[in-house]
Structure 1
Amino acid sequence: MRRRVVPLLLVLGCAATMTACASNEDKFVSELKAAGFANPGEPSTEKEKKSKKVGKRTVKSSEKTIEVVVRVKGCDLEFAKISGQSGYWLDELHVNGQEPDWPNYPENLTRDQTVTLLAGSSAKPAGFTGCYRPNDP
């Protein structure tokens, strides 16, 4: 009996973990839609592992970053969020196979604020002028 219960618990635990990850990704897409972005792409997750020496012990942690690409005014913008935390930021501009970081990492932008940022005179990443079309929706 015990031999059957342990594998079943492992399978249920893995399924719950996968559902939680998908749930966080779905929540982020919903958050972007609520901010006015009608066309968020498929979310992807990157995992970063960290270790830190504290006295004689090594403390290990991991952090999952969810990324979603959204098209605004001809530009593919990547928004990112730390899984399980509130808030998100504009991370990168995707243009011609390049992914330059966005300067100053604006946070929690709505679609209208993003349009204003794109039209403004603030610093933009390399390749911005190649994709920006002010008359696109």
Structure 2
Amino acid sequence: MKRRIISALLVLGGVAALSACASNEDKFVAELKAAGFSNPGEPSTETAKKVKKVGKRTIKSSEKTIEVMVRVKGCDLEMAKTSGQSGYWLDELHVNGQEPDWPGYPENLKRDQVVKLLADNSSKPDGFKSCYKPNEA
């Protein structure tokens, strides 16, 4: 009898954890849509585990990052957000299967601001010109 109850609780806990994660992913997609990104892709979640020694104790923690691809003016941009926190950032620009570094990209831009940034004369990552199509949506 106890095994059944414990098994049922474990299953319910797993379902609750999965639905909470999906809920955060859905909220992030809604946040991107509210910022004007009309075509967000499927969200994915990455978990980074950290282990820290404090004296004789070991403290373990994890941080979930939600990632969603959006397409703006021909460029695939991977937007990321730490689960449970406000705000998001451009994690990567994807160019011909590569992910060139783009230092200094501002965070939490709306779609119109991203379009303006892509069109201005600021420094862009390697390969940017091969993906950027100013006439595309």
Shorter-chain TM-score range: over 0.9
**Distance (whole Å) between structure 2 residues aligned to residue 129 and residue 119 of structure 1:** 11
Q: Once superposed, what is the RMSD of the aligned Cα atoms?
A: 1.0
Calculate percent identity across the aligned residue pairs: 77
Q: Identify the residue that residue 117 of structure 2 maps to in structure 1.
A: 117
- After superposing the two structures, state which structure 1 stretch, 100-109 or 116-125, moved more: 100-109
**1:97-136 mapped onto 2 (5 Å cutoff):** 97-136=97-136
Q: Identify the residue that residue 24 of structure 2 maps to in structure 1.
A: 24
**Distance (whole Å) between structure 1 residues aligned to residue 75 and residue 95 of structure 2:** 7
Question: TM-score, normalised on structure 1?
Answer: 0.96
The one-letter code of the counterpart of 2:70 is V
The one-letter code of the counterpart of 1:9 is L
**Distance (whole Å) between structure 2 residues aligned to residue 65 and residue 102 of structure 1:** 19
**Distance (whole Å) between structure 2 residues aligned to residue 66 and residue 77 of structure 1:** 14
Unaligned runs of at least 5 residues, structure 1: none
SS in 2 for 1:104: coil
The superposition leaves residues 60-79 of structure 1 with CA deviations (integer Å, 9 ceiling, x where unpaired) of 11111111010000000010
Count residues in correspondence. 137
Q: Which runs of 4+ in 1 moved over 3 A?
A: none
**Distance (whole Å) between structure 2 residues aligned to residue 40 and residue 14 of structure 1:** 27
1:67 aligns with 2:57: no
The one-letter code of the counterpart of 2:81 is K
Question: TM-score, normalised on structure 2?
Answer: 0.96
The superposition leaves residues 28-81 of structure 1 with CA deviations (integer Å, 9 ceiling, x where unpaired) of 000000000000001111111111121221211111111101000000001000
The one-letter code of the counterpart of 1:86 is S
Unaligned runs of at least 5 residues, structure 2: none
**Displacement of 1:131 after TM fit?**
0.3
The one-letter code of the counterpart of 1:121 is N
